[in-house]
Amino acid sequence: MKLKRISEYIWEIPKQGDMNVSAVVYSSSSLIESVQKDLTLEQTRNMACLPGIQRAAYAMPDAHQGYGFPIGGVAAFDMENGVISPGGVGYDINCGVRLLRTDFFEKDIKKHKKALLDEMFARVPTGVGRGGSVHLSSKEIKQVCIRGAQWAVEKGFGREGDLERTEEGGCIKPANPENLSPRALSRGSGQLGSLGSGNHFLEIQKVVTIYDRNIAGAFGIHSEGQILVMIHCGSRGLGHQVASDYIRLMENEIGTGGLPDRQLINAPLKSKLGREYFESMNAAVNFAFANRQMIAHRVKEAFQTITGTPEGMEQVYDVCHNVAKFENHKIKGREAKLCVHRKGATRSFGPGHAEIPEVYRHVGQPVFIPGSMGTSSYVLAGTQKSEQLSFSSTAHGAGRVMSRRQALRSFRGEKIKRELEIKGVDLRAKGWRCVAEEASQVYKDVDEVVKISDSLGIGKRVIKVDPIAVIKG
Amino acid sequence: MKVKYRFLNHTADAKFQAYGHSLEEAFQNAAEATANLMWSTKKVKPRIKKKINITGKDREQLLVMFLEEILFLLDSDDFLVRSVKDLSIRKEKADYALEACFLGDKISDESEIFGSVKAVTYNDMIIEENDHYLVQVVVDV
């Protein structure tokens, strides 16, 4: 495929054939090779062929091959001719990241670290199957789907103040659980409050570098060595089932003819089925907000039990990175309401945006980019420039470069655990295999991903953190 | 068939091919491959039976729905699939119907589970008939 380099960090697939707009890839000399090796470019081009797509189809710096859209794909559609696609959101609806700050320093918790890790591991269910911390009736699950993190706060998981520091206030609207299948509700009923498995994790981190003290300060992060807690998970089986159900419903109603990839199935935004998917997806978004709200509460309890005080432990923010949302963006100088799909991409609203909580409005929305197991993660701030470059979006993680199968052949879980311990990172996991599959070497260099975001100006680098203790889902 | 299935490389997800003398056998082996991405089927006892009936509009959709059943039984009922018995596929007017019986057991403290599959995708899916049947599937993990 013809790929034109526009500048140091921007590549373009010019509009051709069935494409309605061009495709733009944000990458660098060292990362572009891995993007060219798999189907990332073809999938980015396919996004550009969908009806009603505006401006361009974008691939974020951590983009890699997905199904339908690439992971790291961003596309916005107009209300009149545009579509909504479950494959443009992903199966793990509202997979996202929540960050907690504390007043502790590494030296304060050093002697408690192992006990703290054990306590968190005992309190936060991980792994596959039901395993949630509460068991809910269908009626109650529907309430979770309507009210999201608010539901969790009312049930005693966390505080009111957490909600304003969550994307959409932890409760996106309109959410309608009435169109969720019994199977989706059944998969969700035993999983609320659990981390799941795969690339999901819970991490105690220490601040290692602060690039912008003013913005970091606004996020409540003031010093190197300060302890943070990061939670990465999503909507569990409920969200996966919503995606699978609507892919099938759309196939049966609309048919799969003419699509370059069956996973690109979509419905017009104006259609009944399109609206139903949107409202069902939002129900799963709320389930995930409630899920992270409950996990965060369990983390605070673990700190309380082991250190005697959770003092200073506060939510910085909670971001979704698999979602489709209606937002206003400028198209040819005019404000337009668009449906922005972010599949493995983080919203990155710049300073002044009304959707950012007041406490952060002067510095931009907090953005979290988790690295891989045992490597650094980053806190960024949204920028105004991202509006023009990526519909206010940036990367969401490191992005895989090696298959799980190859990882299993190359690494051994036990050995990785020992290597991490030498680096001062303690690890708890249900099995060794998932540890090997998630070895840091299978991911792109997160430092490079963040450098591209910062240099382009789609997300400003603010803080770098390193893990000191990890729970693998 | 000597080889029931084999795993292929895929950057982010898991990909496999399953084989069979019949479409039924290939589907059955695809189920074993999917389960073996999450646990060792050999270590699961065939204590409990679960009957399933599925209708899909084409063979691809039928395969997705069939494999999805394994994920559904795990999430909703803590059920681990060991093997598939009595699988039959019938063409019914415009649709395909599948009947099968899963054998397996509930998760226990001894169950060794090494990963999860989130969903079954159509990405790169192949259902092919030459001198034998071949199905290829990518699952989201």
Six-digit token string for A406: 């190859």
Mean pLDDT of A234-263: 93
Contacts of A46 in chain B (CB under 8 A): none
The helix/strand/coil state of A261 is coil
pLDDT band of residue B12 (cuts 50, 70, 90) is: low
At residue A53, the pLDDT reads 98
* Partner-chain contact B76 A38, CB within 8 Å: no
Listed range (A30-39, A423-432, B44-53) with the worst mean pLDDT:
A423-432
- Which has the higher per-residue pLDDT, B13 or A284? A284
* A112 belongs to the catalytic site: no
- The answer on pLDDT for A130 being more than 70 is no
The helix/strand/coil state of A72 is strand
Nearest CA in chain B to A239: B118
How far is residue A421's CA from residue A419's CA, in Å, rounded to a whole number? 5
- Which has the higher per-residue pLDDT, A386 or A34? A386
The position carrying tokens 């059920």 is B79
Q: Which residues, 6 or more positions from A401, have their beta carbon under 8 angstroms from its beta carbon? A: A34, A64, A442, A443, A444, B11
Residue A174, amino acid: P
Q: What angle do CA B11, B13, B14 make, to 5 degrees?
A: 105
- Which has the higher per-residue pLDDT, A402 or A270? A270
Mean pLDDT of A19-47: 95
Mean pLDDT of B20-31: 97
Contacts of B76 in chain A (CB under 8 A): 130, 183, 186-187, 189-190, 237
Output the average pLDDT for chain A: 93
Please give, rounded to a whole number of angstroms, the shortest distance from the CA of A91 to a CA of chain B.
7
Contacts of A130 in chain B (CB under 8 A): 75-76, 78
At residue A374, the pLDDT reads 78
Asked if residues A44 and A73 have their Cβ atoms less than 8 Å apart, the reply is yes
Among candidate residues A184, A160, A202, the one with its CA nearest the CA of residue A284:
A184
Contacts of B123 in chain A (CB under 8 A): 66-68, 261-263
At residue A52, the pLDDT reads 98
DSSP string, A2-17: --EEEETTEEEE---T
Please write the tens of the pLDDT for every residue from A424-471.
999 988 777 778 877 777 777 899 999 999 999 999 999 999 999 999
Q: What is the pTM of this model?
A: 0.96
At residue B1, the pLDDT reads 67
User: Does B109 lie at the interface with A, CB-CB under 8 angstroms?
Assistant: no
Mean pLDDT of A127-140: 79
- Which has the higher per-residue pLDDT, A404 or B66? B66
User: Does B105 lie at the interface with A, CB-CB under 8 angstroms?
Assistant: no
Q: Which residues, 6 or more positions from A226, have their beta carbon under 8 angstroms from its beta carbon? A: A101, A102, A103, A104, A105, A206, A207
* Partner-chain contact A198 B61, CB within 8 Å: no
Nearest CA in chain A to B62: A248
DSSP string, B29-68: HHHHHHHHTTB-GGGS---EEEEEEEEESSHHHHHHHHHH
| CA–CA distances in Å: residue B54 to residues B58, B67, B96, B99, B118 | 12, 11, 8, 7, 20
Q: Chains A, B: CB contacts under 8 A, how many?
A: 120
- The answer on pLDDT for B13 being more than 80 is no
* Partner-chain contact A129 B118, CB within 8 Å: no
Six-digit token string for A280: 């069902």
At residue A419, the pLDDT reads 87
- The answer on pLDDT for A129 being more than 80 is no
User: Does B8 lie at the interface with A, CB-CB under 8 angstroms?
Assistant: yes
The position carrying tokens 């899963």 is B102
- The answer on pLDDT for A310 being more than 80 is no
Mean pLDDT of A214-230: 98
* Partner-chain contact A67 B57, CB within 8 Å: no
- Return the percentage of chain A with pLDDT > 70, whole number: 99
Instruction: Count the Cβ atoms, other than its own, within 10 Å of residue B46.
Output: 14
Output the average pLDDT for chain B: 93
At residue A132, the pLDDT reads 67
- The answer on pLDDT for B110 being more than 90 is no
User: Does B71 lie at the interface with A, CB-CB under 8 angstroms?
Assistant: yes
Beta-bridge mates of residue B137:
B16
Q: B interface mutation test: which of A38, A189, A236, A240 has the most B CBs within 10 A?
A: A240
How far is residue B105's CA from residue A187's CA, in Å, rounded to a whole number? 18
Q: Which of B13, B68, B115 sits opposite A434 (nearest CB)?
A: B115
Please give, rounded to a whole number of angstroms, the shortest distance from the CA of A424 to a CA of chain B.
25
Beta-bridge mates of residue B17:
B6, B136
Mean pLDDT of A57-70: 94
Instruction: Count the Cβ atoms, other than its own, within 10 Å of residue A329.
Output: 17
User: Does B120 lie at the interface with A, CB-CB under 8 angstroms?
Assistant: yes
